[in-house]
Amino acid sequence: MSSITDYFKEGQHLIWRVVKLPKNGSTTYLYSIISEGFTKLYRWLPDKTWETIIVGGGIAESIEGLIEAGTNVTVTGSGTQSDPYIISSQQDAEGTPIDPIVGLTATNVQDALEELKSQIDVIVTPDGSETIVQGAGDINVTGTGTVANPYIVEYSADVPIIRTVKISLTPAQVRSLGSTPIVAVAAPGVGKAIEVFTAMARITFGSVAYNGGGDLDVACSSAGASQSQYRYDPTFLANTSNNFVILQRKVSGASPQIIENNALVIRSGSNSTVGDSPVDVYITYRIADL
């Protein structure tokens, strides 16, 4: 026969793959042939005979020097089934060096998750350089974008905002409403005043009714008795059962009901000496620019 290929064409083996690998110029070739379930490596000699170098029995064998490392590429392993070649790059597809984001020392899943969380918290802590937020027109932006000083985006135009507040009064607070009003909304500042739109009150009866004035008022903190904005008069606090009512808008006449830079308070005409029913007050209001 004139070549190793002719040998396998004679039917002695079933050829699955023949690969020529140049070695030492052009005089010697290596043939990788899979036949009869075996992987064999042959060297074809100049005298037109062939020599079996490796018979693998279906298991990959290494060929020294066939895979070599290059620039930014490393090759590990010996090329066998138990120790295959591993080709690694120190850069990604765009040439950017690849480094692990975090290195964990934990040996179990729970500790690893906790360690990863703590390291990610450090990595993603904003320093203001991640996002630039700028205001325009009626939009104002303050802050630097850090954890300690986050961005705050505000609308500066004069737009009335309807607000709501719920105040829950304990029995002790209710008994003292005549002398110690409860602040529902803090004073808004100079040039501003609080206007109440609606007010509701709910009493959950305990076992003893209040024996004071009975009325429940929503008013500016320095307003007199006749200057409440909303009132339920005179029997609300004297209830002996559960009740939920809408307070009535109070008409004051010449006395001012809305007072600049005054807190909004909940009060009563007098204190009670007994009573154990909690009261919830719901107020809808706005802060007006004067």
In a domain, 195, yes or no: yes
Q: Which of 1-15, 200-214, 226-240 has the lowest mean pLDDT?
A: 1-15
Residues 176 and 142 in one domain: no
Residues 191 and 282 in one domain: yes
For position 32, what pLDDT does the model report? 46
For position 95, what pLDDT does the model report? 56
Higher-confidence residue: 28 or 175?
A: 175
Higher-confidence residue: 63 or 192?
A: 192
pLDDT digits (tens, 9 = 90+) for 66-80: 667 776 677 787 766
pLDDT digits (tens, 9 = 90+) for 208-255: 999 987 789 999 988 777 788 888 877 889 999 999 999 998 876 667
Residues 140 and 210 in one domain: no
Q: If you average pLDDT over residues 194-218, what whole number do you get?
A: 92
The rounded distance, in Å, linking the Cα atoms of 118 and 151 is: 24
Higher-confidence residue: 123 or 234?
A: 234
For position 50, what pLDDT does the model report? 58
pTM over 0.85, yes/no = no
Domain count, the chain: 4
In a domain, 62, yes or no: no
Residues 195 and 241 in one domain: yes
In a domain, 105, yes or no: no
Higher-confidence residue: 259 or 226?
A: 259
Residues 240 and 172 in one domain: yes
Q: If you average pLDDT over residues 165-179, what whole number do you get?
A: 95
Domain that holds residue 153: 126-157
Domain boundary among 157, 179, 200: 157
For position 104, what pLDDT does the model report? 66
In a domain, 112, yes or no: no
Residues 168 and 148 in one domain: no
Higher-confidence residue: 158 or 26?
A: 158
Residue 260 predicted with pLDDT over 80: yes
Residues 239 and 267 in one domain: yes
